[in-house]
Amino acid sequence: MTVPFFTLLYPWTKAFHVISLIAWLAGMLYLPRLYVYHCETAPGSAESERFKVMERRLLRQIINPAMIATWLFGIVLVLTPGIIDWSWGWWHVKLLCVLLLSGFHGALSRWRRDFLHDRNRRPQRFYRAMNEVPTVLMVIIVIMVIVRPF
C-alpha cells in the first residue's frame, strides 16, 4: 500500500507552518508598535523617514512572505488526507480568526502607505488599541488548534 505524498510530508509541513506563523505574528505584533512611535515624530523629520524605512522592510521582507508561507503550508495541511474534519467546530473558529488576521494584515499595509505619504491622521491611541488585535486572534487560534474545545 502506498502512503499519499502529503502524508509523508505531514510533520515537515506542520513544522514549516509553525515556523512561518511565528514570523508572521512576530511582524504583526511589532508593526503597530512602530506606528505608535511614528505618531510622535514630525512629518518630514529624519526620524519619521527612518520609521518609513523600518516599516517598509518589516512588511515587505518579513510579514508579507511569512503570511504567504503560512497560508501555503496551512493549505497543504488541509489537503493532507485525514487531517481535517469539516464537522469540527474549533476548525471553523480558527479559519474565521485566520481570515480576520489576514484582513488585519491588509489594514497594516494601508496604514503604512498613509505614513509613507505623511497623511496619517489617526491618533496614537488608535495604534495602541490595534496592537492588541493580533494578540487576541493568536490566543484564540492557538487554543482552538491545541485544546480543540468543541
Return residues touching ligand HEM (CB under 6 A): 14, 17-18, 21, 25, 70-71, 74-75, 77-78, 83-84, 98, 101, 138, 141-142, 145-146
Question: Which cell numbers in the block locate residue 130?
Answer: 490595534
Least distance in angstroms from the C-beta of 10 to ligand HEM: 7
Instruction: Report how far residue 147's alpha carbon sits from residue 142's, in angstroms, rounded to the nearest whole number.
Output: 8
Helix, strand and coil content of the chain, in percent to the nearest 5, comes to 80, 0, 20
Closer to ligand HEM by CB, 70 or 120: give it: 70
Least distance in angstroms from the C-beta of 11 to ligand HEM: 9
Closer to ligand HEM by CB, 58 or 76: give it: 76
Q: Which residue lies nearest ligand HEM, judged by its C-beta?
A: 74
Closer to ligand HEM by CB, 54 or 138: give it: 138
DSSP 86: T
CA distances from 101 to 37, 65, 70, 118, 127 (A): 22, 15, 12, 26, 16
Instruction: Report how far residue 78's alpha carbon sits from residue 109's, in angstroms, rounded to the nearest whole number.
Output: 27
Closer to ligand HEM by CB, 54 or 62: give it: 62
